[in-house]
Amino acid sequence: MKTIILTATAGEGHNSVARSLDNELKSRGIESHIVDICQINGDWLKDFANGFYNMSINYFPSLYGASYDSADKKIQESNGAQPRKIAQKMLAVEIKKFIDEFQPDAIIATHVFAGNLLSDIVEDGFYDGLTVGIITDFTVHPFWEDSTGLDYLVTPHEDLEIQMQRKEIPLRKALHFGIPIHKKFFEHLDKKEMRKKLGLDENKETVLLMSGSMSHVRVDKALKRIDMLPNDFQVVVFLGKRKTLLKKIEKMSLKHPIKIVGFVSNIEEYYSAADIIITKPGGLTTSECIAKGLPMIVVDPIQGQEARNVEFLTNHQLILASSKTYREVEALNTFMNNEAVRGNILRSLEQNYKDDPAKKLIDFMVKELEK
């Protein structure tokens, strides 16, 4: 079995999913190649796409949200003039060359535009192998309905079937395996042992405060607010790229002990050591926390897919959501002091736990190809 994984750089989540699937395939001795469709003609498109995405969500979030909402309402564009379709046709030429050279048995798309491009290649009659698209948030992103040529779509939850029906996506294509994340998030690690290993107090409740991969969350302000609580707890602050906040936090007079870290390769150990995390509601992060059974307070969602993640996860009692009028400190106070709320979230996390999605998907694909 030879597999190509098509991804696209717009944020890091799609690439992370691609790497998780690539690791699972290679661990079985299956040949696999990751191809970034934005990099197929050099780095310029990748840099442009990632820069445009980051600029949109950082400086024009309302415009990005409005564009997402319009696309989600399935507002039809003229196929002939649609920029997305033109770009897909241009990129398809290079992807076809790679497919022709590698001769894969299966192709996986971890981004909706990669899925659209792959669908076009299938419907052109160029490729007839197994094809799978991966939905990387707790919503069916706009334009997945255009990937009509794909055999299957992996979703994070069976309750997304309502959205699939609205978008006229056949339910026979749905594989409700969950978002493929690294297998390390499915390993049981003892809470007290991890606290000891990480230099934390073994007996204190532990709060993780995460700035996000693009450092959207102002962890200094959040830290100052949650420090008001009288509860006995410690905080691990993940600064990400916001190194400028380090000196500001170090100068704070805080009553709760804190540990400041940057990017770490053992995030699963911190998840296991913690009682709750304050973070952004990205599809990958929330999936990792669900796998770890770690309660979440989500903050500052990007308008569009992350706002829909909040809707879905809140309605499934998996998270507490903060807002401008209900800050993370209020949500943390509720979690720490309301046993009913805390109990509901922990039960919901257990009930919505998914076995290793990457393993389940590759198991499924191997069986399909053996037919």
Q: Does residue 277 carry a pLDDT above 80?
A: yes
Report CA torsion sign: 98, 103, 108, 112. positive
Q: Tell me what pLDDT residue 347 has.
A: 97
Q: How confident is the model at residue 80 (pLDDT cuts 50, 70, 90)?
A: very low
Q: Tell me what pLDDT residue 243 has.
A: 66
319: enclosing H helix or E strand? strand 319-321
Q: Does residue 215 carry a pLDDT above 60?
A: no
Amino acid present at 69: D
Do 2-178+355-370 and 184-351 show the same overall fold? yes
| Residue pair 287/293 in contact by the 8 Å Cβ criterion | no
| Residue pair 156/138 in contact by the 8 Å Cβ criterion | yes
130: enclosing H helix or E strand? strand 130-134
Q: How confident is the model at residue 214 (pLDDT cuts 50, 70, 90)?
A: low
Question: Does the model's pTM come out above 0.85?
Answer: yes
The structure tokens listed for 125 are 């009659």
Beta carbons within 8 Å of 239's beta carbon, 6+ residues apart: 211, 215, 219, 245, 246, 249, 260, 261, 262
CATH of domain 184-351: 3.40.50.2000
Q: Tell me what pLDDT residue 174 has.
A: 98
Q: What is the pLDDT of residues 31-69, one digit of tens each?
A: 999 999 877 755 545 454 555 445 554 555 666 566 766
Decide: residue 345, CB within 10 A, 0-12 exposed, 13-18 middle, 19+ buried: buried
For β-strands 2-7 and 233-238, DSSP reports them as unpaired
Q: How confident is the model at residue 77 (pLDDT cuts 50, 70, 90)?
A: very low
Q: Tell me what pLDDT residue 342 has.
A: 97
In degrees to the nearest 10, what's the CA dihedral of 55, 57, 59, 61? 150
Region 200-226 average pLDDT: 86
Q: How far is CA 143 from CA 90, 108, 262, in A?
A: 18, 16, 35
Q: Does residue 93 carry a pLDDT above 50?
A: yes
Q: Identify the CA nearest to 133 among candidates 102, 159, 164, 103.
A: 164
Q: Over the chain, what is the mean pLDDT?
A: 89
Q: What is the pLDDT of residues 123-133, one digit of tens each?
A: 999 999 999 99
Q: Tell me what pLDDT residue 244 has.
A: 73
Q: How confident is the model at residue 290 (pLDDT cuts 50, 70, 90)?
A: very high
Domain residue spans of the chain? 2-178+355-370, 184-351
Looking at per-residue pLDDT, the higher value among 266 and 300 belongs to 266
Q: Tell me what pLDDT residue 75 has.
A: 46
| Residue pair 276/208 in contact by the 8 Å Cβ criterion | yes
Q: What is the pLDDT of residues 323-350, one digit of tens each?
A: 999 999 999 999 999 999 999 999 999 9
Q: Which residue has the tokens 């507002």?
A: 75
Q: How confident is the model at residue 180 (pLDDT cuts 50, 70, 90)?
A: very high
DSSP 153: E
Q: Identify the CA nearest to 318 among candidates 288, 286, 292, 340.
A: 286
Instruction: Name which of 19-33, 204-218, 286-300 the model is least confident about.
Output: 204-218
DSSP bridge partners of 5: 34, 108
Decide: residue 255, CB within 10 A, 0-12 exposed, 13-18 middle, 19+ buried: exposed
Region 228-244 average pLDDT: 87
In degrees to the nearest 10, what's the CA dihedral of 53, 54, 57, 59? -120
Region 346-360 average pLDDT: 96
Q: Identify the CA nearest to 286 among candidates 269, 258, 306, 300.
A: 306
Q: How confident is the model at residue 72 (pLDDT cuts 50, 70, 90)?
A: confident
CATH 3.40.50.2000 fits 2-178+355-370, yes or no: yes
Instruction: Give the separation between CA 71 and CA 310, rounded to whole angstroms.
Output: 19
Question: What phi-psi label fits residue 212: left (phi over 0), alpha (psi between -120 and 50 degrees) or beta?
Answer: left
> What is the phi/psi pair of residue 226, to 5°?
-70, -20
Q: Tell me what pLDDT residue 155 has.
A: 98
For β-strands 233-238 and 258-261, DSSP reports them as parallel
Q: Residues of the chain with pLDDT > 70: what percent?
A: 86
Instruction: Give the separation between CA 210 and CA 218, rounded to whole angstroms.
Output: 9
DSSP bridge partners of 154: 134, 175
Instruction: Name which of 34-38, 69-73, 140-144 the model is least confident about.
Output: 69-73
